[in-house]
Structure 1
Amino acid sequence: MNETMASRIRQRRKELKLTQDKVAEHCGINRVSVSNWETIGKNGTSPKGANLIALAELLRVSPEWLISGDEESKHAYVKDTAANYTLGSFDTWDSKTPLSPDEVELPFYKEVELSAGNGSIVQRENSGFKLRFAKSTLRRYNIQPDMAACVVVSGNSMEPVLPDQATVGIDTANTKIKDGDMYAIDHGGMLRVKVLYRLPGGGIRLRSFNRDEYPDEDYAAEQAHEVKVLGRVFWYSVLR
């Protein structure tokens, strides 16, 4: 684990007067794991996936700030981390499973891969699979069921927040860019997921969490038309 991430976790935890036991309880892990997150050197480890999101929520900072230390993104989507990215548990169902009155089905495109790398051509095949969410939960976060879908992410550019094969929910009714939020985009015929920022003069910045391997992509206004925002990522699921 790099020194700066370990230092940021430890420093922020102490600023909020949280114990390692409290962090462990919130993230559903043991205290030794938290200690390893704050350890510099070969014995240190990094929080990933759901653990990273839970940690960022507790520390009231963005996952990107924990990863990179970028002050611009420190509070970019802190409020949305818990509310809009963690909508509870889900299961996959086929069309033969009865739907309860408080549930709604969203199409789950298992064979479609939303690339978190350099992109992959969109092929919409869902084989009848659905993901079920509580109507009340979607309503609470202003997600219209007929404007939402779930797909699989491939590639490592959004790690450690979105590991390869994570599932994301996309709200296609929300295409207005809010700096620091994640969006699904059609980039020259390729489906990708990136953190977006608006640039002066009408440009756009595509940012990956894995910035060591995938540097920022900046596009001027005359190039920005090649990037079509398909929808905001309102939810995702990863394994701990």
Structure 2
Amino acid sequence: MNLSERIKLARKKAGLTQSGLAESVGIAQTAISQLESGKTLRSSYLIQIAQACGVNSTWLASGEGEMHSPEDFSASLSGVLQEMLRGEHEDDAALNNALRERLEEVRSASRLASAGTLLTEEIPYLVELEDPHDPSKTVVEVSVKLHLDLNDEILSKQEVLPQNVVAVAISGNSMIPVLQDGGTVVAHLLETQVVDGRMYVIDHGGQIRVKALYRLPGGGVRMKSYNAYEHPDETYTVREMEDASIRVMGRVFWGASFY
């Protein structure tokens, strides 16, 4: 892994944009861009960049040693605690869950970096938000805060671009044993044409659903849950899909709980 790849990896694992990193270091965003593109092969600000990203400066400069030294890791965990405690959470359970997820991200970043992982892309999550026009309803939007770090190799093998991809957190037991509650799937937004038996992300009147779909004559669809005992098949004509605001958003091509 060369310098440009290490800087890009460190920045993304720290959750920083190029402009955000540049601001933290006190240099121009173009300087970070040139370093990550390989147009600039050295910099007198590597120590400051390492500190801003919370990584080992020796690793960043030369690739030697671990990405996160014990001191870096401790500082990172401390920063995570402060970050989470400043957040807004409805109850202690929500705080604990969010904290556990963030801590695991930090641990994973340390483990994967030391093993020489490939670079990753930040894939935004789809989320359900309160409808600004009707508080009793929800709408499906792309999150500006939540993202999944997905290896570039996965996207390359699927021949999809990161800007056309979204992540979805699985909630409920309708798709077990294939998809577990709490798992994650990734979908390609440009593949909305239903192929029988494939899995798709669906916006069902503001609710995010993940189902296997089958075509019906006339343009309708059949939604299949793998846990058919508790969640029987649902069928919709084109008119019923319009009335229920059902929209096929994209085909699922990767999932954390079944691949």
Match for residue 205 of structure 2 among 175, 188, 194: 188
Secondary structure of the 1:157 match is: coil
What amino acid is the match of 1:148? V
Structure 1 residue 106: Cα displacement: 1.4
Could you tell me how far apart the structure 2 residues matched to 1:108 and 1:222 are?
29
- RMSD of aligned Cα (Å): 3.2
Residues 104-149 of structure 1 deviation map (CA, whole Å, 9 limit, x = unaligned): 221246xx37xxxxxx944658574432333343122122100112
1:134 aligns to 2:54 (yes or no)? no
- 2:252 maps to 233
Distance 1:162 1:101, change over 3 A: closer
1:156 aligns to 2:173 (yes or no)? yes
- 2:20 maps to none
Could you tell me how far apart the structure 2 residues matched to 1:108 and 1:94 are?
18
* Bigger helix fraction: 2
Structure 1 residue 102: Cα displacement: 4.1
Could you tell me how far apart the structure 2 residues matched to 1:214 and 1:186 are?
18
**Contact 1:160 1:210 (8 Å CA) reproduced:** yes
Could you tell me how far apart the structure 1 residues matched to 2:170 and 2:159 are?
23
Secondary structure of the 1:161 match is: coil
Could you tell me how far apart the structure 1 residues matched to 2:169 and 2:228 are?
21
Bigger Cα Rg: 2
Secondary structure of the 1:212 match is: coil
- 2:235 maps to 218
Secondary structure of the 2:170 match is: strand
Secondary structure of the 1:160 match is: coil
**Contact 1:107 1:129 (8 Å CA) reproduced:** yes
Distance 1:122 1:189, change over 3 A: closer
Distance 1:171 1:125, change over 3 A: closer
Distance 1:191 1:143, change over 3 A: same
Q: Which residues of structure 2 form unaligned runs of 5+?
A: 1-11, 17-52, 56-112, 129-136
Residues 26-82 of structure 1 deviation map (CA, whole Å, 9 limit, x = unaligned): xxxxxxxxxxxxxxxxxxxxxxxxxxxxxxxxxxxxxxxxxxxxxxxxxxxxxxxxx
Q: Which residues of structure 1 form unaligned runs of 5+?
A: 1-91, 114-119
